[in-house]
Structure 1
């Protein structure tokens, strides 16, 4: 059965951020993820994880100016120094939170820059980041994201992400496979799980209902089937990662909204 991690950026939004750890633990989650930890002291979050018996499984490296619309720096030739400083900061948090994975967002492709230059910068930055992270025992993840949610995002397809990871060849550089994004861009999700998970290049999964990004028991994807496929293939290839619950509760941010929507977890129960 897949191990689910609560995404504390999207779930339990009726609570202040630091109180979401307790809410996730109360609902039976053993792992958590979120977008960014940098507004809080690492020691404070580490204490919340310890207090509630939770494992931090993933967070993102600094993305540039998020509030101004930036969505990562990795492909931007003029921002290499800032990218490297961000990786150093992320690794400090990863060690403090005992987190084995950081997601490095590719960034938005500037229209005035040739894609070849962006690609070269992206791959060079990823190779450098993987070396830095290896010494800390951390995996670096890249994620194809659909251009409906993030117009202009540089990396969109599973095949391209896996080509990059394979070409760089760093054992701790892997793909973050978000089933929601994959369905919007490509479809054929079950076959892509079967194709890519056995390669050893998938470091993490995420899910959400399509198209509204609510609970995974809503929308066009059959998650009962997909989670059983994931469980089957993970067992065959001895994969023991996590599935991040990166969705927006359909009930909104009212009290109890996340908890009331968790009935979907029974989709992963084969009995």
Structure 2
């Protein structure tokens, strides 16, 4: 069965962030992911992971900014969804990658997501592709020195208009062009369904290549629990199991969804009925 990681940025929203580690462990999760760690000290996060027997499996490099305050502001601004494909912000991107690698080493996290950012008005994706490839090649080299993978994620343009990377095939083409073995795709099935569909066949096509580093799931179209919406996740989890067993993939599936009852005390836990069924 897939191994599931709780996304602490979206799940348990009724609790303060640092209390969500204990809540996830209480619900049986063995691993967690989240968007950004930079508002908290490294040792504070390490202590929460160790106290609850959890493994950190993914977080994002800064979407912009170079310190905790500016990173938080960058994420709140409509124009900042990453800097990897944004001209003029190369130094900011490199500073953010080094900060993320420092956190990854402290948290013993094997992978970091590098957000591409938005295509500016008047530009086309092909205009900034060489910059994106150069930034990814540099970041993969820096990450390899420290034993980490870096990931790129196709994101749908309904949620994030003009996001640079949207399709699975394009992500894999870019990875081939960069040519770094530690650069992989973060395959979010929610985004994939919205943009492309045919999700099961894409899992069968791409997982055996070794270029998929992580999965994420959420119900479509509203990004709630996986058992709400149009996708047959029990079937898709079976596909992941089947293909992973055949090719030796041992990654994680991140639960990056907004619990429908998340505003209620214990709402996230109540909505986990999909989890044992998928197992």
Give the equivalent residue in structure 1 for 2:38.
38
Give unmatched runs, 5+ long, in structure 1: none
**1:84-115 residue CA offsets vs partner (Å, 9 max, x unmatched):** 00000000000000000000001000013343
Give the equivalent residue in structure 1 for 2:140.
130
RMSD after superposition = 0.8
**1:205-248 residue CA offsets vs partner (Å, 9 max, x unmatched):** 00000001000011100001000000000000000000000000
Q: Is 1:251 paired with 2:266?
A: no
Equivalences for residues 167-206 of structure 1 within 5 A: 167-206=177-216
Q: Is 1:16 paired with 2:16?
A: yes
Distance in 1 between the 2:87 and 2:127 partners?
7
Give the equivalent residue in structure 2 for 1:75.
85
Q: Is 1:232 paired with 2:242?
A: yes
Distance in 1 between the 2:137 and 2:277 partners?
38
Give the equivalent residue in structure 2 for 1:110.
120
Q: Is 1:153 paired with 2:163?
A: yes
1:208 aligned to which of 201, 215, 218: 218
Distance in 1 between the 2:99 and 2:191 partners?
27
What is the Cα deviation at residue 268 of structure 1?
2.1
Give the equivalent residue in structure 1 for 2:67.
none
Q: Is 1:66 paired with 2:75?
A: yes
Give the equivalent residue in structure 1 for 2:131.
121
Distance in 1 between the 2:260 and 2:254 partners?
17
Q: Is 1:47 paired with 2:47?
A: yes
SS in 2 for 1:127: helix
Distance in 1 between the 2:190 and 2:52 partners?
29
Contact map agreement 2:61 2:96 (CA 8 A) in 1: yes
TM-score by length of 2: 0.95
Distance in 1 between the 2:121 and 2:90 partners?
18
SS in 2 for 1:253: coil
Q: How many residues align?
A: 269
TM-score by length of 1: 0.98
Distance in 2 between the 1:172 and 1:5 partners?
21
Contact map agreement 2:10 2:257 (CA 8 A) in 1: yes
Contact map agreement 1:175 1:203 (CA 8 A) in 2: yes
What is the Cα deviation at residue 15 of structure 1?
0.7
Distance in 2 between the 1:10 and 1:183 partners?
20
